[in-house]
Amino acid sequence: MSAPPRVLTVAGSDSGGGAGIQADLKTMLAFGVHGMSVLTAVTAQNSLGVQGAWELPVEAVRAQYRSVVDDIGVQAVKTGMLASAELVETVAELIGGTEAPAVVDPVGVSKHGDSLLAASALDSVRTKLLPVATVATPNLDEVAQLTGVRVESEDGLRRAAAALLSYGPKWALIKGGHLSGDAGRVGGGQAVDFLTDGSEEHWLRAPRLDNRHTHGTGCTLASAIASGLAKGQSVPEAVAAAKEYVTGAIADGFALGGGIGPVDHGWRWRTGRA
Ligand SMILES: Nc1ncnc2c1ncn2[C@@H]1O[C@H](COP(=O)(O)OP(=O)(O)O)[C@@H](O)[C@H]1O
Ligand SMILES: Cc1ncc(COP(=O)(O)OP(=O)(O)O)c(N)n1
């Protein structure tokens, strides 16, 4: 049997299993690729928020990365929670020395408002990590932090993407999940994301689903994109497939715990929907 495409996630652990490394590996399984992980931090986390977070030492991150890349090999890398400037710079250096495409999810703050990245690391994200990204996938809060552009309209998505591209990623995917769904406002009724490399433009639209159990959407989307790239898809193809997958996962999100439950990574086989 031939070897499956291999995808590496460099991210933090979510003990609740909804986001972080756990969401990434479940997504990779759903896309039929072999998922591998470099752990950067451990969080005590559940549907109510993040109760604690501990970073791993830089040597532990470097060692995990080398173990995987030097022996097993990777066709795509995805990054998530990187916690500190030191870890951001280490991971940027490692990715910069690897040929595989990199999907950078510049995780800043969880849905509950818990910080997952030190404020002092923002400059390292801008100057070290974004330049080595094939695709960068910030949500609206993250792109505002990184570029200063606050998005309230579809034109705002375009401006934010242009500002992000100035830091060097090949493609910018601005996720409009946080745009207000109120009737009459832009994005109302739809979850709109915008993808561009500065010349091509792709608008990704899906019905805005009325399910509060959306924990892990960003990690899931980025891992699905990395899985598509590892299979040889172009960036627009991989993003379109990832958007379809995350939309289905939100539709079947689980009411687990007392707060925001996780999306369902196994919705395709659980429900039989394509
Ligand atoms: N209620 C929703 N209905 C449908 N799609 C959504 C909803 N909320 C978020 N999304 C989609 O989920 C993906 C992740 O976006 P977002 O939730 O903004 O990221 P993050 O988890 O990083 O904050 C995007 O494709 C976004 O459009
Ligand atoms: C360990 C860890 N990494 C990343 C996140 C953020 O995940 P995301 O997919 O953006 O989902 P929400 O937290 O916004 O629901 C996380 N929470 N934990």
Model confidence over 86-143: pLDDT tens digits?
Answer: 999 999 999 999 999 999 999 999 989 999 999 999 999 999 999 999 999 999 999 9
Q: For residue 250, give the nearest of 10, 23, 9, 79 by alpha carbon.
A: 23
- Active-site annotation holder among 217, 228, 243, 253: 217
Q: What is the DSSP letter of 38?
A: E
pTM: 0.97
175 is catalytic: yes
| The pLDDT value given to residue 153 | 87
- How crowded is the C-beta side of 145, counted as CA atoms within 13 Å? 20
Q: What ipTM did this prediction achieve?
A: 0.98
Q: Is the CB of 109 under 6 A from ligand 1?
A: no
| The pLDDT value given to residue 184 | 36
Contact 96, 125 (CB under 8 A): no
Ligand 1 atom at minimal distance to the Cα of residue 140:
18
| The pLDDT value given to residue 188 | 62
- Rounded to whole angstroms, the Cα distance separating 73 from 65 reads 10
> Tens of pLDDT along 11-27?
999 999 999 999 999 99
35 is catalytic: no
Ligand 2 atom at minimal distance to the Cα of residue 105:
10
| The pLDDT value given to residue 185 | 44
- What residues of the chain score a pLDDT lower than 50? 182-186
Say how many residues make up the chain.
274
- Rounded to whole angstroms, the Cα distance separating 165 from 171 reads 7
Q: Look-up: residue for tokens 């969880």?
A: 110
Q: Is the CB of 243 under 6 A from ligand 1?
A: yes
